[in-house]
Amino acid sequence: MLGSSSSSSKGGGNNNCDYSFKILLIGDSGVGKSSLLVTFISNFVHDLSPTIGVDFKIKMVTIGGKRLKLTIWDTAGQERFGTLTSSYYRGAHGIILVYDVTRRETFTNLSEVWAKEVELYSTNQECIKVLVGNKVDRDSERAVTQEEGMALAQQLKCSFLECSARTRANVHQCFKDLVLKILEVPTLLEKGSTAVKKQILQQKQVRKPPESNTCCFQ
């Protein structure tokens, strides 16, 4: 379970963290990346229009006595970022690869398009990846089996979960598992502890200050 409460993104306390981690959501347009993100941030289920361009949100979490700042990036799911592409992937500590279990092409594109982009642009060699099959609440329309998802995760050498942003099933577990694995990698911890101010400055140049929430993983 996750307990959460809202706090102002302008509050100075939000910058007092032990580590700052950059997390990416990638996958085709319409797979539910934004819904997963907003459900995790706000604890409410949202029906959202597709993202236009690049957006990000910040969430403060406490786990194992450490205060962590998660900057979670979301994109439109299209391969037309231009000069944004390399900067989007640069310095990522964790990547969530999302497909829609009811649309087989979104699953195929993860291995044929998105995994190759991660390999090409990711600058952290030990970056943690999680494969997520979203929209399991529409199981009667399923086009990708759970076994196929597990097989792809094994191929990509990452963990695997099926989620539903609509019912919130496994959404928080997905982010929790990712953060716990990041915390196990010394090089990612080192980068997360030194990049806080630099990341904040870079993000403000791209977008206005996003929503900010706090929570504790329990």
| pLDDT band at residue 3 under the 50/70/90 scheme | very low
pLDDT in tens, 77-116: 555 444 557 788 889 999 999 999 999 999 999 989 899 9
User: Going from the N-terminus, what domains does the chain have, and what CATH number goes with each?
Assistant: 2-217 (3.40.50.300)
- The count of residues in the chain is 218
For 121, the token pair is 């642009």
Residue 108 half-sphere exposure toward CB, CA atoms < 13 A: 5
Report the distance separating Cα 81 and Cα 75, nearest Å.
9
For 194, the token pair is 């030194």
The strands making up 19-26's β-sheet, listed across from edge to edge, are 2-6, 212-217, 54-63, 66-75, 19-26, 94-100, 128-134, 159-162
pLDDT score recorded for residue 199 = 54
DSSP string for residues in 148-178 = HHHHHHHHHT-EEEE-BTTTTBTHHHHHHHH
pTM beyond 0.85: the answer is no
User: Tokens 């347009």, residue?
Assistant: 29
